[in-house]
Amino acid sequence: MEIFTSTFKGLIDTSGFMGLGITNIIMLLLSFVLFYLAIVKQYEPLLMLPIAFGMMLTNLPLTGLYHPELWNPATNPYYAPEYIEQGANILVNFTKETSLDYGRVLHEGGLLDMLYLGVKLQIYPPLIFLGIGSMTDFGPLIANPKSFLLGAAAQGGIFFTFLGACVLNLTGIAPFTLKEAASIAIIGGADGPTAIYLTSKLAPQLLGSIAVAAYSYMALVPVIQPPIMKLLTTKNERMVKMGQLREVSKIEKVVFPIAVTIIVSLIVPSAAPLVGILMFGNLMKESGVCDRLVKTAQNELMNIITIFLGITVGATAVADNFLSFKTLFIIALGLIAFCIGTACGVLLGKLMYIISGKKINPLIGSAGVSAVPMAARVSQKVGQKDNPSNFLLMHAMGPNVAGVIGSAVAAGVLLSVLG
Amino acid sequence: MNFALGLLSESGNVISRLQGYETAAEQVADKDYWSSVGIISLTGILVVFLILAILIFFFWLLGMLFKTIDKKRAAKKAAAVEAKPVAPAAVAVTAEAEEEFDDEEEIVAVISAAVAAFAEADGTSYRIRSIEKRGDSRSRSAWNLAGINGNMQKF
Give me the numbers of helices (H) and strands (E) for chain B, helices first please: 6, 0
The one-letter amino acid code at A318 reads V
CA distance A391 to A244: 10
Q: What is the pLDDT of residue B92?
A: 45
Residues in chain B with CB shorter than 8 Å from the CB of A264 are 51, 55
Average pLDDT estimate for B56-82: 85
- The number of angstroms, rounded, from the C-alpha of A347 to the middle of its chain's C-alpha atoms is 24
Average pLDDT estimate for A100-108: 86
Rg for chain A, CA atoms, rounded:
23
Instruction: Give A127-153 pLDDT, tens digit per residue.
Output: 999 999 999 999 999 999 999 999 999
Q: What is the pLDDT of residue A208?
A: 92
Q: With bands split at pLDDT 50, 70 and 90, how would you rate the model's confidence at A349?
A: very high
Max Cα–Cα distance, chain B, nearest Å: 90
Instruction: Give A38-78 pLDDT, tens digit per residue.
Output: 999 988 899 999 999 999 999 998 888 999 888 877 666 66
HSE-up (13 A, CA, CB side) for residue A382 = 33
Mean pLDDT of chain A: 89
Average pLDDT estimate for B45-62: 92
A:B CB pairs within 8 Å: 160
Cβ contact B41–A162 (<8 Å): yes
Q: With bands split at pLDDT 50, 70 and 90, how would you rate the model's confidence at B117?
A: confident
Q: What is the pLDDT of residue B139?
A: 58
CA distance A26 to A59: 9
Provide the residue ranges of all domains of chain B, joining segments of one domain with +: 1-86, 87-132
Q: With bands split at pLDDT 50, 70 and 90, how would you rate the model's confidence at A83?
A: low
- Separation in Å, CA of B65 to nearest CA in chain A: 10
Whether the model clears a pTM of 0.95, i.e. scores above it, the answer is: no
Which spans in A186-290 are helix H?
Answer: 192-202, 207-219, 221-232, 235-238, 250-267, 272-287
Q: Which positions ≥6 away from A211 have C-beta within 8 Å?
A: A47, A51, A192, A195, A196, A199, A313, A314
CA-CA distances (angstroms) from residue A92 to A70, A76, A78, A89?
A: 15, 11, 8, 5
CA distance A286 to B54: 22
Cβ contact A178–B50 (<8 Å): no
Q: What is the pLDDT of residue A165?
A: 92
CA distance A209 to B6: 33
Residues in chain B with CB shorter than 8 Å from the CB of A166 are 28, 33-34, 37
Cβ contact A159–B45 (<8 Å): yes
Residues in chain B with CB shorter than 8 Å from the CB of A160 are 41
Instruction: Give B25-38 pLDDT, tens digit per residue.
Output: 888 888 888 888 99
Percent of chain A with pLDDT over 70: 94
Kindly tell me the burial class for residue A125, based on how many C-beta atoms sit within 10 Å of its own C-beta (0-12, 13-18, 19 or more).
buried
Cβ contact A178–B37 (<8 Å): yes
Q: What is the pLDDT of residue B153?
A: 59
Cβ contact B44–A175 (<8 Å): no
Percent of chain A with pLDDT over 90: 70
Residue A105 Rama label (left phi>0; alpha psi -120 to 50; beta): alpha
Q: What is the pLDDT of residue A352?
A: 95
Contacts 24+ apart (CB under 8 A), A98-101: A99/A73, A100/A71, A100/A73, A101/A70, A101/A73, A101/A76
Residues in chain A with CB shorter than 8 Å from the CB of B33 are 166
CA distance A34 to A192: 16
Is the separation of the CB atoms in A68 and A314 below 8 Å? no
Say whether residue B61 is in contact with chain A using an 8 A CB cutoff.
Answer: no
**ω into A204 cis (within 30 of 0):** no
Q: What is the pLDDT of residue B8?
A: 55
The number of residues making up chain A comes to 419
Q: What is the pLDDT of residue A300?
A: 94
**pLDDT of A223 over the 80 cut:** yes
Q: With bands split at pLDDT 50, 70 and 90, how would you rate the model's confidence at A331?
A: very high
HSE-up (13 A, CA, CB side) for residue A416 = 27
Residues in chain A with CB shorter than 8 Å from the CB of B62 are 142, 252, 255, 259
Average pLDDT estimate for A405-411: 94
Provide the residue ranges of all domains of chain A, joining segments of one domain with +: 2-120, 124-418
Instruction: Give B128-148 pLDDT, tens digit per residue.
Output: 777 766 655 555 667 777 777
User: Which range among A95-104, A301-310, B93-102 has the greatest average pLDDT?
Assistant: A301-310
The number of residues making up chain B comes to 155
Average pLDDT estimate for A69-98: 59
Is the separation of the CB atoms in A254 and A391 below 8 Å? no
Give the dihedral sign, CA A228/A233/A239/A240. negative
**pLDDT of B126 over the 50 cut:** yes
CA distance A117 to A114: 5
The least confident of A162-176, A183-197, B113-127 is: B113-127
Cβ contact B152–A406 (<8 Å): no
